[in-house]
A and B are shown apart, each in its own frame.
Chain A
Amino acid sequence: GAGVSQSPSNKVTEKGKDVELRCDPISGHTALYWYRQSLGQGLEFLIYFQGNSAPDKSGLPSDRFSAERTGGSVSTLTIQRTQQEDSAVYLCASSSPGDSGSWGEQYFGPGTRLTVT
């Protein structure tokens, strides 16, 4: 079946512009996650959704970052007034609920490479 998809695959934007990144999870997965990976680095967790709700937004790097999910499916990560330090690959993952309230097995999309010039 179809995996997690993300769009665009690449985005180049000028400093100060707003960008929207989209994630389409695996059908039926109730949980959705956003991560950021800077060049040569590990993954930094940003936010997760259970259904349309994001219980904890403290992982977002600044108030320029926001995310929403509608209909329990597609999610959008928005970065306002982009800065050069926002340049990174933004990865999305989805999962079914795990056992005993844990997070389920996560499946990742191909990512969106964001470059802020």
Chain B
Amino acid sequence: GIQVEQSPPDLILQEGANSTLRCNFSDSVNNLQWFHQNPWGQLINLFYIPSGTKQNGRLSATTVATERYSLLYISSSQTTDSGVYFCAVDGYNNNDMRFGAGTRLTVKP
């Protein structure tokens, strides 16, 4: 089945810094989503982005489907950005949604 790899696994930032999180996938996908899991465990939708670029406030995402990767950009990070960021894909030949292992982000004040 499709493999999803996220990097880096852990990231520590000082408040105000920018960061880029990466998601690589091994096969063509129908769709890709980015989620933020907050410290209380709730998964929050960030982007639904099978291709192209989207922006929402300080966050933006780009998916290059032909090269099988997606990037999540966080600018001017805040302590509330801390948590785990997951990438998930829905492959053409899958009957499931595959999640990466996540990037654990810690933003220090």
Interface residues of A (CB under 8 A from B): 33, 35, 41-45, 48, 55-56, 58-59, 89, 91, 93, 98, 100-103, 105-108, 110-111
* Per-residue contact bits, chain B 26-49, to A (CB 8 Å; 1 contact, 0 not): 000011010100000111110010
Chain B residues with CB under 8 Å of chain A are: 30-31, 33, 35, 41-45, 48, 50, 86, 88, 90, 95-102
**Inside 8 A of B101's CB, which chain A residues have their CB?**
41-42
Q: Is B86 a contact of A42 with CB atoms below 8 Å?
A: yes
| Across-interface contacts of A103 in B (CB, < 8 A) | 30-31, 90, 97
Q: A45-B97, A55-B95, A59-B96 are in contact. Are A110 and B42 (CB under 8 A)?
A: yes
Q: Which residue of B lies closest to A103 (CB)?
A: B90
Asked if A108 and B86 make an inter-chain contact with CB atoms under 8 angstroms apart, the answer reads no
Q: Is the CB of A43 within 8 A of B42?
A: no
User: Do A89 and B41 touch across chains, with their CB atoms under 8 A apart?
Assistant: yes
Q: Are B30 and A102 in contact (CB under 8 A)?
A: yes
Contact A43 B88 (CB under 8 A): yes
Q: Are B41 and A110 neighbours in the complex by a CB distance under 8 Å?
A: yes
Max chain A Cβ within 10 angstroms of own Cβ: one of B30, B44, B95, B100: B95
A56 to chain B, nearest CB (A): 4
Jot down 22 A-B pairs with beta carbons below 8 A, ordered by A. Answer: A33-B97, A35-B99, A42-B86, A42-B99, A42-B101, A43-B88, A45-B96, A48-B97, A56-B95, A98-B31, A100-B30, A102-B50, A103-B30, A103-B31, A103-B97, A105-B31, A106-B45, A106-B97, A108-B43, A108-B44, A110-B42, A111-B42
In the assembly, what is the distance between CA of A35 and CA of B102, in Å?
Answer: 15
A101 CB, min distance to chain B CBs, angstroms: 8
Distance in angstroms between the alpha carbons of A42 and B89 in the assembled complex: 13
